[in-house]
Amino acid sequence: MEYPTSNKRLIDWVEEVAKLARPSSIYFCDGSKEEFDQLAQLLVEKGTFRKLSDVKRPNSYWAHSDPRDVARVEDRTFICSTEEIDAGPTNNWRDPSEMKQTMNGLYAGSMEGRTMYVIPFSMGPLGSPFSKIGIQLTDSPYVVTNMRIMAKMGTSVLEQLGDDGDFIHCIHSVGSPLAQGQSDVAWPCDPDNIYISHFPETREIWSYGSGYGGNALLGKKCLALRIASATARDEGWLAEHMLLLKLTSPKGQVHYVTGSFPSACGKTNLAMLEPSLEGWKVETLGDDICWLRLGEDGRLYGVNPEAGFFGVAPGTSYETNANAMRTITHDTIFTNTALTVDGDVWWEGMDGDRPDNLTDWKGESYDPTSGKPASHPNARFTVSAGQAPQIAEEWQDPAGVPISAMLFGGRRRSLVPLVAESRDWDHGVFLGSTMASETTAAAVGAVGNLRRDPFAMLPFCGYNMGDYFAHWLSFGEKENVNLPKIYMVNWFRKDANNRFIWPGYGENARVLAWIVARLEGEAEGIEGPYGVVPKVQDIADDNLGISDEQLSELFHVDGTELANEVDAIGGHFDTFGDRLPAKLLRQLEILKTYI
């Protein structure tokens, strides 16, 4: 065939994979709107997509997956480093040679009867020093349509790659070959043989068996976090599971803020915040991933490597995240939500009453008496970030934006204050390394169990997390740097009646306002176990509707709880053995002095 590139490395690899997987044809994606529309129509004809009403949701589609293929599968996600210790205790490790042998056996003939799509994509603005080019080979047109939204994709990326440029190799197959004359299914997959394998030393991603989300959209968690985190360690930067926002004060002061939060801790809501405080403005640069590099001025600069939002639909409403709802009014792909009779989508937590006569996320008539949700808890929307009404104009700036503050947060009913400023960089890294969240009903495990999720990177760090902590600490050892201030936040303190004390949502702007005041040298604080906390009068006024007693409770640190926390952190650190940096143990000793 005639290729739209003269990059021999790419051509040879495409031919090598095609020889193994034996697709019926090869197609290089150009990333055009015409191509998207043609593939969307193909998916409609296959039964994968259903076109939504152009009155209710213009240029949008609804899909539902195989019920066995609905989310990331952490137990089938592997880091295949040469040495097991380099994957570390928090990752599933496999020997790279053995894994490739296993997966080559699965890939053999896996694309028979299907087209192999070649997706050239860039994570980050084209030509930016931040950005990385990947090539994904896939037999899923559903993946192509989603990748066009989530990354820069197509001919322009091939042109950037040039004749001799290198790229991250990404192979994906749903694992469902078609014999001649065999009818296809709406959602092909092989749920009994799922592998999402990462080879950090050779910068490769091999995925098989799943067609869903981060298992199949390989630019997202696989490249932008697992492979990128290992690359960042080698090249001296950071690839993080972080939101990125622009905060403008009533005085016109602009600060760029990142934030790491585990699942169900309000990260997307904060990224798209509508502040309750008059005169404050929040604009979004990214809701999920941030890549950070040191600039010549010694500051950390951040960029969102993604081009779209892959958001969880259930719980999203005009009350919780109005900007997200405005973003998904058109040109959106919805997966595993419910479907209304008038050609729109619905999910639990959406504004208004549940409509009658829904089609549930499995494509079946929904029975309201079943007690089951109509949409899957992990139902998603895929939408271009560029159509968000609150997107910052510099969100694709190839130079990135200078970061003033970093937030680390979890879901803790007590102990951790509403907000605390770290004493220095090492202490901030300590706070990030000990992040924890109490599980919710939607999470694995019993409700209320504490799960450590350092930097919200537990499922996404592509190498030994002890080495990851050391990499973070290394930035504080560099000369002539002006690093961001680090803050721990906790929106989820509860009172004796198990009710949330802090109202959250738009009122979180009060915390951001105090942080800005600290950055500008305009606010005092009180030293405590977690660092400097606000004076309550600096965080609240009569309009907040919280008593002085409740405000004090937001910052109270119980000595017995703190002692238990110190013991728990010690056990957490033991996990990393001799790979744990000594600086973190010294920070733990400092915390003990507050018991």
Contact between 429 and 469 under an 8 Å Cβ cutoff? The reply is: yes
Domain membership flag for residue 188: yes
Do both 219 and 252 map to the same domain?
no
Query: How much is the average pLDDT of 118-122?
Result: 98
Do both 329 and 412 map to the same domain?
no
Give φ, ψ of 44 to 5 degrees. Answer: -65, -45
DSSP 8-class letter at 490: -
Say how far apart CA 122 and CA 152 lie, in whole Å: 5
Active-site entry in 80, 170, 189, 265:
265
3-state SS of 376-403 is CCCCEEEEEHHHCCCECCCCCCCCCEEE
Beta bridge partners of 136: 119, 170
3-class DSSP state for residue 77? Answer: strand
Do both 508 and 490 map to the same domain?
yes
- pLDDT-derived band of residue 263, with 50, 70 and 90 as boundaries? confident
Which residues, including other chains, have CB under 8 Å from residue 9's CB and lie 6 or more apart? 164, 166, 167
Average pLDDT, the chain: 96
- Where residue 577 falls (left for φ over 0; alpha for ψ -120 to 50; beta otherwise) is left
Do both 481 and 582 map to the same domain?
yes
- pLDDT-derived band of residue 264, with 50, 70 and 90 as boundaries? confident
What's the CATH code of the domain at 109? 3.40.449.10
In angstroms, what CA-CA distances link 485 with 75, 259, 398, 426?
35, 12, 23, 11
Among the three residues 195, 210, 235, which one is the final residue of a domain in this structure?
A: 235
Question: Count of residues for the chain?
Answer: 595
Pairing relationship of beta strands 345-346 and 92-93 according to DSSP bridges: unpaired
What's the CATH code of the domain at 368? 2.170.8.10
Greatest distance between any 2 Cα atoms in the chain:
74
Among the three residues 235, 264, 289, which one is the final residue of a domain in this structure?
A: 235
Residue 301 predicted with pLDDT over 70:
yes
What type of residue sits at position 120? Answer: P
Say how far apart CA 541 and CA 547 lie, in whole Å: 10
Say how far apart CA 153 and CA 314 lie, in whole Å: 28
- pLDDT-derived band of residue 266, with 50, 70 and 90 as boundaries? confident
Do both 536 and 406 map to the same domain?
yes
Contact between 103 and 208 under an 8 Å Cβ cutoff? The reply is: yes
What type of residue sits at position 176? Answer: S
**Which H or E run contains 469?**
helix 465-476
The answer to whether residue 265 is catalytic is yes
DSSP 8-class letter at 461: -
Structure tokens at 128: 């930016």
Do both 25 and 172 map to the same domain?
yes
Distance of CA 533 to the CA centre of its chain: 28
Beta bridge partners of 258: 244, 406
In angstroms, what CA-CA distances link 447 with 262, 443, 456, 584?
15, 8, 19, 29
What's the CATH code of the domain at 261? 3.90.228.20
First to last CA, the chain: 71
Residue 443 predicted with pLDDT over 50:
no
Domain membership flag for residue 60: no
Per-residue pLDDT of 11-68, as tens digits, reads 999 999 999 999 999 999 999 999 999 999 999 999 999 999 999 999 999 999 999 9
Domain membership flag for residue 176: yes
Q: Report which of 440, 402, 411 is spatially closest to residue 504, judged by C-alpha positions.
A: 411
Residue with tokens 């070649």: 118
Per-residue pLDDT of 193-224, as tens digits, reads 999 999 999 999 999 999 999 999 999 999 99
Domain membership flag for residue 44: no
Do both 142 and 260 map to the same domain?
no
pTM (two decimals): 0.96
- pLDDT-derived band of residue 90, with 50, 70 and 90 as boundaries? very high
Q: How many domains does the chain have?
A: 3
Do both 408 and 522 map to the same domain?
yes
CA-only gyration radius of the chain, Å: 24
Residue with tokens 């959209």: 217
Do both 366 and 500 map to the same domain?
no
| Beta carbons within 10 angstroms of residue 254's beta carbon | 17
Structure tokens at 219: 């630019």
Residue 444 predicted with pLDDT over 50:
no
Domain membership flag for residue 496: yes
Do both 585 and 485 map to the same domain?
yes
Say how far apart CA 151 and CA 147 lie, in whole Å: 6
Do both 447 and 568 map to the same domain?
yes
Q: Which range marks the domain in which residue 376 is found?
A: 309-387
Do both 180 and 253 map to the same domain?
no
Among the three residues 387, 415, 434, which one is the final residue of a domain in this structure?
A: 387
3-class DSSP state for residue 531? Answer: strand
Domain membership flag for residue 35: no
Which residues, including other chains, have CB under 8 Å from residue 582's CB and lie 6 or more apart? none
Per-residue pLDDT of 382-422, as tens digits, reads 999 999 999 999 999 999 999 999 999 999 999 999 999 99
Residue 441 predicted with pLDDT over 50:
no
Domain membership flag for residue 433: yes
Domain membership flag for residue 321: yes
